[in-house]
Amino acid sequence: MNSRRNFLKKSSLITLGAFNYNFAPIIKNINGVDISVITYSFNPRSENMNVIIQNCIDSGTDNIELMGNHIESSLGMPKSKRLISDWRANVSMKLFRDAKKIFKDHDINIFAFKSNCISKNNSDEEIEYAMKVTKNLGADFLTNELMNDESVERVNFYAEKYNVNVGYHTHSNNFGSNVKATDTAWDYALNSSKKNYINLDIGHYINVGGYNTKEALLEFIKKNNKRICSLHLKDRQFGKSANLLASDNQIWGNGDTPIIEVLKLMRDNSYKFSATIELEYRIPEGSNRVKEVKKCMDYCLKALNS
């Protein structure tokens, strides 16, 4: 890590240089386990890149899975949905290389990029855009929702063309485009290309219920550890149905997801993939998302030091 005394480098890119950053200690890893944060944790909706950087600094985050909607608007993406596809097809990748440098100058590594523009409804140019952005941000992985086999094959072509690793994410139900997290959900993706990996959400896995027990989760991680690019940490309840007005996401330690056991498994086996905090539970009164991410960091620290 570079000294924080040296990273007050003001950028001329858009208006980032005018932002007043405050600094906090950064956690690289805990007993060999990399603890990262998906920037969704700070805001599920669109956010200015300045704010995301400050959130990272305030929460002690140095390694992120960066959401596309947390950088694109800052780099000039139009608000009109009608114009977005064309913007993605033509935007200069220099903007993303400059953005990478800004994050790096603040000791923040982008290990994964989640573009939110890879689906059957997106153009080939948008898929290529996601691949190019991943490369220019210096990310190791492009993450995306797991799709049907035909759509995976479409992405395989571009992943192999641009030499980009793709980590596929699943959910706890088949609502909309979501694919349910089962032990066989990733089989086609993994077998169809060596560029494909598992972006495992342990909370969603447990919430599926049925055969998706704590013991099954630990065995799945052991079996597939070399094809896991990262796993999302959250605490959901076993087999409980969620609805649009309520969530079973719990403050960590109150649900059924074996977060502690998973972290210790990673530690004891020296697994190299990142454990990514994804904050989805309701924020307690008087708190905020940055404070809660720090609490999740502390939860990981306590687990891995025990």
**What does the alpha-carbon distance between residue 125 and residue 166 come to, in Å, rounded to a whole number?**
17
22-304: CATH topology is: TIM Barrel (3.20.20)
Question: Between 289-304 and 259-268, two packed helices, what is the crossing angle to 10 degrees?
Answer: 50
What pLDDT, on a 0 to 100 scale, did the predictor assign at position 123? Answer: 96
**What does the alpha-carbon distance between residue 28 and residue 148 come to, in Å, rounded to a whole number?**
36
**What does the alpha-carbon distance between residue 92 and residue 231 come to, in Å, rounded to a whole number?**
31
What pLDDT, on a 0 to 100 scale, did the predictor assign at position 43? Answer: 97
What are the residue boundaries of the structural domains of the chain, listed by start? 22-304
Residues 231-261 as b or e (16 or more Cβ within 10 Å = b): bbbbbbbbeeeeeeeeebbbebeebbbbbbb
Per-residue pLDDT of the chain in tens (306 residues, 90 and over written 9)? 333 323 333 333 444 444 445 544 445 689 999 999 999 999 999 999 999 999 999 999 999 999 999 999 999 999 999 999 999 999 999 999 999 999 999 999 999 999 999 999 999 999 999 999 999 999 999 999 999 999 999 999 999 999 999 999 999 886 666 799 999 999 999 999 999 999 999 999 999 999 999 999 999 999 999 999 999 999 999 998 766 566 899 999 999 999 999 999 999 999 999 999 999 999 999 999 999 999 999 999 999 999
What pLDDT, on a 0 to 100 scale, did the predictor assign at position 27? Answer: 54
DSSP state of 40: G
What pLDDT, on a 0 to 100 scale, did the predictor assign at position 177? Answer: 64
